[in-house]
């Protein structure tokens, strides 16, 4: 029994610990008139940021939106905001009206979250409307949730390469420019960082790289220079500006002369195949949107493979795996490296690997028109031949050790141990190039055998021929 202003339950008289004549149906409860947390899950939003996961924190209480004071505002509090909004984790917790001064009531002050709460209103605070603040102290949040999407929606155009040019951002499904009001070196630094283009060399205004068209999406951009994306910087709301395209902002970054590594895969040699580029320590493919002989010419030049013969799309050389690094590549054909061409930002695409781009160059030296695949080494596997710029299989009709012996000799893999049929090494994919092959077994190259007409057969891939040679490399 508690009598008087006791500050803790153990200070009240009671029977000894564990001594009772009760059952669980008699468990006691309490309802309090006030609590350090605010009791219910109040709606939340982030305002005046460049996407829904960054901005000034606003909460809805008593049928009115209001702000949060930045006293004791930190990443723990920001983390709860991001969690409540489904915006990932907290990147930063800006204070001092970073996203502009709000209006209306300041609903919360001295917010103190543990970081595990599911809603900001469950954190400790002074209580609704109790504060000693003004709107110059409105708290903000930048979450990770929309950052990746936003990273993709930025490009530099009309410059000599993808790391120099007029700044354009995507909003509401439309590209638009950035006004040069307040445009400075820290802003340019963030653009270069976001695009993986090194550091900023200069930050131009006055349409240095030509006038853009369409909307002017951003104005009065103000970055500290440490942000990971332009969307984290302070700016006027989308589409609000007092500018014309004569004030379009531009950037020049350092990473203009470092060509991305390039290779051609799944072709007959190093000068024909599926285009793959190395970025962020990972190989990935190129989408065939806008892919033409101009782009292929740059690839062939960069690889010292002569001139471009063709620029096949639609995964002509098979589907790649991993990332699709480039899309909408647009080369003049005179660039020294593919990474100097205009393109969407790295990793930004609307493609799948069915659209992987390929190249065939004029240098055919070192091509191999025969291979064994899906075995444990290059000397055993399903037989595939290269014809008409595409790999295809061989049907097992009449396939025997004589044919296998020539394959092994052609590939420098020793002698033939067996000539399995019935897709022993798995079924290939179209086309089936050859059927009813007849080798004597003494030929030095597979092409010396009686091969018949390319593409004529009465087979399915369940009849793909294989070879096991004595060599192992």
Return the pLDDT at 303: 87
Return the pLDDT at 254: 76
Provide long-range contacts, Cβ within 8 A and 24+ apart, for 326-332.
326/277, 326/286, 326/287, 327/286, 327/287, 327/289, 327/351, 328/287, 328/289, 328/290, 329/286, 329/290, 329/291, 329/295, 329/357, 330/290, 330/295, 331/294, 331/295, 331/297, 331/298, 332/294
> Distances from the Cα of 332 to the Cαs of 9, 83, 192, 389, in angstroms?
80, 46, 23, 25
Separation between Cα atoms, residue 172 and residue 255, nearest integer Å: 29
Domains in the chain, please, with CATH?
Answer: 44-144 (3.10.250.10), 149-253 (3.10.250.10), 262-361 (3.10.250.10), 370-469 (3.10.250.10)
> Distances from the Cα of 331 to the Cαs of 175, 292, 293, 311, 336, in angstroms?
20, 9, 9, 13, 10
CA 470 to centroid of chain Cα atoms = 44
Return the pLDDT at 92: 83
Tokens of 145: 């949730």
Question: Phi, psi (5° rounding) for residue 105?
Answer: -70, 155
* CA 193-94-163 angle, 5° bins: 10
Strand partners, 319: none
Say whether the peptide bond before residue 399 is cis (omega within 30 degrees of 0).
Answer: no
| Bridging pattern class, strands 308-310 and 262-269 | unpaired
Separation between Cα atoms, residue 270 and residue 264, nearest integer Å: 6
Return the pLDDT at 86: 74
Residues in the chain: 473
Which pLDDT tens digits describe the chain residue by residue (473 residues)? 666 555 556 667 777 777 777 766 677 766 454 444 455 678 888 887 766 788 889 988 888 889 999 998 998 899 899 888 877 788 888 888 888 888 889 999 999 888 888 888 888 888 888 888 898 899 988 887 644 444 447 888 887 777 888 999 887 778 899 999 989 999 998 888 877 777 888 899 999 988 998 899 899 888 888 776 787 778 888 788 899 999 999 998 876 545 668 898 888 778 888 999 887 778 899 999 989 999 999 999 888 888 888 899 989 888 888 889 888 888 888 777 887 787 877 787 888 999 999 998 887 665 667 888 888 888 889 999 888 778 889 998 889 999 999 898 888 888 888 999 889 999 988 799 888 888 888 887 777 788 778 888 889 999 999 999 887 75
């Amino acid at each position: 029994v508690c009598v008087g202003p006791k500050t803790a339950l153990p200070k009240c008289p009671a029977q000894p610990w564990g001594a009772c004549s009760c059952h669980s149906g008699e468990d006691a409860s309490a309802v309090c008139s006030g609590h350090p947390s605010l009791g219910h899950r109040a709606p939340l939003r982030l305002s005046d940021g460049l996407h829904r996961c960054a901005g000034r924190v606003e909460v809805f209480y008593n049928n009115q939106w209001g702000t949060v004071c930045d006293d004791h505002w930190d990443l723990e509090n920001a983390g709860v905001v991001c969690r409540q909004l489904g915006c990932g984790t907290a990147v930063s917790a800006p204070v001092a009206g970073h996203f502009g001064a709000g209006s209306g009531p300041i609903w919360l002050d001295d917010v103190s979250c543990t970081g595990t709460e599911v809603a900001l209103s469950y954190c400790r605070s002074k209580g609704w409307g109790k504060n000693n603040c003004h709107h110059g102290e409105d708290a903000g949040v930048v979450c990770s949730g929309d950052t990746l999407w936003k990273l993709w929606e930025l490009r530099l155009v009309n410059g000599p390469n993808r790391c120099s040019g007029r700044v354009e951002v995507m909003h509401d499904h439309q590209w638009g420019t950035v006004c040069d009001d307040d445009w400075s070196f820290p802003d340019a630094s963030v653009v270069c960082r976001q695009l993986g283009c090194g550091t900023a060399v200069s930050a131009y205004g006055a349409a240095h790289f030509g006038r853009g068209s369409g909307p002017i999406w951003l104005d009065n951009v103000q970055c500290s220079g440490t942000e990971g994306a332009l969307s984290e910087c302070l700016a006027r709301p989308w589409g609000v500006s007092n500018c014309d395209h004569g004030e379009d902002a531009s950037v020049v970054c350092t990473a203009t002369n470092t060509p991305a590594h390039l290779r051609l895969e799944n072709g007959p040699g190093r000068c024909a195949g599926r285009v793959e580029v190395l970025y962020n320590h990972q190989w990935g493919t190129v989408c065939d949107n806008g892919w033409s002989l101009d782009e292929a010419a740059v690839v062939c030049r960069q690889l010292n493979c002569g001139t471009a013969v063709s620029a096949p799309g639609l995964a002509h050389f098979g589907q790649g795996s991993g990332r699709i690094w480039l899309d909408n590549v647009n080369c003049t054909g005179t660039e020294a490296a593919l990474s100097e061409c205009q393109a969407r930002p790295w990793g930004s695409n609307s493609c799948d690997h069915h659209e992987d781009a390929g190249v065939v160059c004029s240098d055919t030296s070192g091509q191999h028109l025969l291979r064994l695949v899906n075995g444990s080494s290059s000397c055993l596997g399903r037989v595939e031949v290269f014809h008409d710029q595409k790999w295809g299989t061989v049907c097992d009709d009449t396939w025997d050790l004589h044919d296998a012996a020539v394959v092994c000799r052609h590939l420098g893999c020793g002698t033939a141990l067996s000539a399995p049929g019935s897709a022993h090494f798995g079924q290939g994919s179209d086309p089936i190039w050859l059927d009813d092959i007849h080798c004597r077994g003494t030929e030095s190259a597979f092409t010396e055998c009686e091969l018949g007409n390319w593409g004529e057969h009465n087979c399915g891939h369940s009849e793909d021929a294989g070879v096991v040679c004595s060599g192992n490399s």
